[in-house]
Structure 1
Amino acid sequence: MHALIVVSHPDPQSLTHAVAQAYAQGVRQSGDHTTEIADLAAERFQPTFHQGDRAAYLLQAALPDDVPREQARIDRADALVLVYPVYWWSFPGQLKGWIDRVFSNGWAYDETSDGRLLKRLGRLSVHLIGIGGADGGTYARHGYDRAMRTQIDHGIFGFCGAKVVTSEFLTDVNGTAAASHVETARRLGAATFASAHVAAAA
């Protein structure tokens, strides 16, 4: 099986990138699986939703050329993994722009003429790893964790029918917890396709 790991951080030496690499190692070490890391910063993905994207959303024009390439990467994957730093209690702008542009009308979902919504990503399993500087108590006390899960897990992926299998926050990266997060990511990666093996054996 194949996992597409999308990472959004400008510094390749960051903990975010180390977590993405460890997750990929866990996937590969758990069986005959493959991974691809999409490094949005290194690839210079343009996140701005522009007039071409708007015309495609209205089904008045074809998608801009860079969008179908990203959609094809997802179509090849059995699991989509997003690894990102938490900026202002949400995605970084580049990752949000990737979602805005790539999860397009006609591909991620369909809006029918009679107002119905058809969810088109029901086959896709999603794994989310947010990396935050604040401690877990701050997320819980202010409800940031719940708010992000409502916005991202339900609002984005639920809208498209994709199943969020795991949704993790690796917090307190400025404290003592950072050293353990890479190993946590490797463990999460190793478990990515575990349920698929169970289903196949049943």
Structure 2
Amino acid sequence: MHALIVFSHPVPGSFTHTVAARIAEGITQANPADSAEIADLAAEGFDPRFNEADVAAFLREKPFPADVAREQARIDRADALVLVYPVYWWSMPGQLKGWIDRVFGNGWAYDDTPETGIVKRLQRLAVHLVAVGGADAGLYTRHGYFDAMRTQIDHGIFDYCGAPVMTSEFLIPSDPSHAEAHLETAHRLGRGVFGAVRSDAA
């Protein structure tokens, strides 16, 4: 099985980079027959701006732009999609959100026509979300940020397309050794990425 791990962070060697790498390592160590591709949107220079060509594709007047079609093909090759992202203003970074805006389009991630209404087209795609936060759990809990982010991202994006969210993990500071613990969590998550998929298929 194959996983696509997507993240966006402008600084090479960031903790977000390391978490993504540990997840990939966990996937391949759990089963050497499985594979993981890492998509570093910042390093690849993905343009997140939703433009006139994207509007035309959304209205189904023209095909998806070439860069969007390439990303859709990467997802089509995957059995699981893993998003790893630092929390910016209680959501994901703009580049990653723009990747979703452009790639998860009408006619590919879902169909929305007067004849069919909403048809969810990504029901085969298992999704794993890993948010790397800087605030402690108390702040997230007091202000309802855990629930707000899950409503916005897990439900608002992926449920709309039918893609089941198998993991929704927050890696947040807990003690002086939290970074090491988070990397172990990332490795464990990687080892389990295809566990539920294989259980469902059995």
* Normalised-by-shorter TM-score class: over 0.9
Report the Cα offset of residue 196 of structure 1: 3.3
Supply the AA of the counterpart residue of 2:172: T
Instruction: Find the counterpart in structure 1 of residue 24 from structure 2.
Output: 24
Cα displacement string for residues 2-52 of structure 1 (whole angstroms, at most 9, x for unaligned residues): 000001111121110000000000000001200000000000000000001
Separation in 1 of the partners of 2:200 and 2:130? 25
Check 1:186–1:9 CA distance in 2 against 1; reply closer, same or farther (3 A cut).
Answer: same
Supply the AA of the counterpart residue of 1:172: P
Contact 1:131 1:173 in 2 (8 A): no
Instruction: Find the counterpart in structure 1 of residue 62 from structure 2.
Output: 61
Q: Within 5 Å, give how 1:169-184 maps onto structure 2.
A: 169-172=170-173, 176-184=177-185
Report the Cα offset of residue 165 of structure 1: 0.3
Contact 1:132 1:173 in 2 (8 A): no
Separation in 2 of the partners of 1:100 and 1:197? 30
Report the Cα offset of residue 115 of structure 1: 6.5
Report the Cα offset of residue 195 of structure 1: 2.4
- Extract unaligned runs of 5+ from structure 1: none
Check 1:173–1:87 CA distance in 2 against 1; reply closer, same or farther (3 A cut).
Answer: farther
User: Which secondary structure state, in structure 2, belongs to the residue aligned with residue 41 of structure 1?
Assistant: helix
Check 1:198–1:158 CA distance in 2 against 1; reply closer, same or farther (3 A cut).
Answer: closer
Residue identity (%): 63
Contact 1:83 1:130 in 2 (8 A): yes
Separation in 2 of the partners of 1:198 and 1:119? 23
- Extract unaligned runs of 5+ from structure 2: none
**Alignment of 1:4 onto 2:10:** no
Supply the AA of the counterpart residue of 1:158: D
User: Which secondary structure state, in structure 1, belongs to the residue aligned with residue 9 of structure 2?
Assistant: coil
Check 1:184–1:84 CA distance in 2 against 1; reply closer, same or farther (3 A cut).
Answer: same
Supply the AA of the counterpart residue of 2:50: F
Using the size of structure 1 for normalisation, the TM-score is 0.96
Using the size of structure 2 for normalisation, the TM-score is 0.96
Separation in 2 of the partners of 1:55 and 1:197? 38
Separation in 1 of the partners of 2:200 and 2:170? 27
Instruction: Find the counterpart in structure 1 of residue 104 from structure 2.
Output: 103
Aligned residues: 201
Separation in 1 of the partners of 2:118 and 2:175? 42
Supply the AA of the counterpart residue of 1:104: G
Contact 1:133 1:174 in 2 (8 A): no
Greater CA drift, 60-69 or 167-176: 167-176
Contact 2:126 2:197 in 1 (8 A): no
User: Which secondary structure state, in structure 2, belongs to the residue aligned with residue 77 of structure 1?
Assistant: coil
Separation in 1 of the partners of 2:49 and 2:96? 11
Check 1:27–1:115 CA distance in 2 against 1; reply closer, same or farther (3 A cut).
Answer: same
Supply the AA of the counterpart residue of 1:65: A
**Alignment of 1:158 onto 2:198:** no
Instruction: Find the counterpart in structure 2 of residue 94 from structure 1.
Output: 95
Q: Which runs of 4+ in 1 moved over 2 A?
A: 173-176, 195-200
**Alignment of 1:78 onto 2:79:** yes
Separation in 1 of the partners of 2:130 and 2:174? 13
Supply the AA of the counterpart residue of 2:120: K
Cα displacement string for residues 151-194 of structure 1 (whole angstroms, at most 9, x for unaligned residues): 00000000000000000000128954122111110000001111
User: Which secondary structure state, in structure 2, belongs to the residue aligned with residue 180 of structure 1?
Assistant: helix
